[in-house]
Amino acid sequence: MDLKIKDVADLLNVSETTIRRWLSEGKIPAYRLNHQYRFSLIEIEEWVMRHKLGHSQEPPAFSANARIELQEKPSVSQKTGIKQFSLYRAIHKGLVLNHVPGSTKEELILNAIKPIAKELGLDAEVIGDLLLDREKLMSTSVNRGIAVPHPREILANLKHDSISVVFPAKPIAYGALDGKPVHTLFFLLSSCEKNHLHLLAKLAHLTQLPKTQALLEKHPTKNQLLEYVKEWESGISHPGHE
């Protein structure tokens, strides 16, 4: 699936000016078609994972300037509220699981997906295989003890987007570049490609924040996590948001 500048700006919650600046600086992958920029959805997903969730030595794409542009020029979808609380809604539809057993990331993923799939009316074995296949392509581990397992394929039969937060019984090695074991996993299951990228980008932004990292280390309840996420999303388009 190919995207235009407007699509990418909307999905990443930044202005079109920011996307054009990233293009001029060579910070975001794109190609030319009839003298216009186009973006591959798969390449943008990998870019989000690599640059915004800690896989790169380069500064995160969401810089202070990018956030200022976001605050000053909120997208139409933000103004109407269509996507403003999308992360809150996805986590609300998911589970928050504590003390999930597993001595390897494969065991942990398979153990966690059983209750998640049951809650969503999905086949745990099928979803588990999709998640493990994605890990073989590129680890979804990130720095700061966080991972975002998700399948490469979009789940067309899923009624709504879902993010389940999983806290392992003990932190496990996950292949993060900083060498730190993973203590929090966000299982992202999406019903369409654009929703998937939009939620991935929001997770990327949120999990960079020291306040988020401190909260996750305390293993918050679902209500505590939802309250925190709702407050964060409500402030995205307002000055002073961190």
For 91, the token pair is 């986590």
CA distance 214 to 201: 20
Burial class (CB in 10 A: 0-12, 13-18, 19+), 121: exposed
CA distance 185 to 181: 11
**Contact (Cβ atoms closer than 8 angstroms) between residue 201 and residue 163:** no
The runs of H, that is alpha helices, within 94-175 are 105-120, 124-137
Question: Which of 150, 155, 229, 165 is closest to 192 using CA atoms?
Answer: 155
Set 51, 55, 150, 205: catalytic member? 150
- Please say if 150 is a catalytic residue: yes
For 143, the token pair is 């720095």
Residue 189: its H or E element: strand 184-189
* Amino acid residing at 127: I
**Residues labelled catalytic:** 150
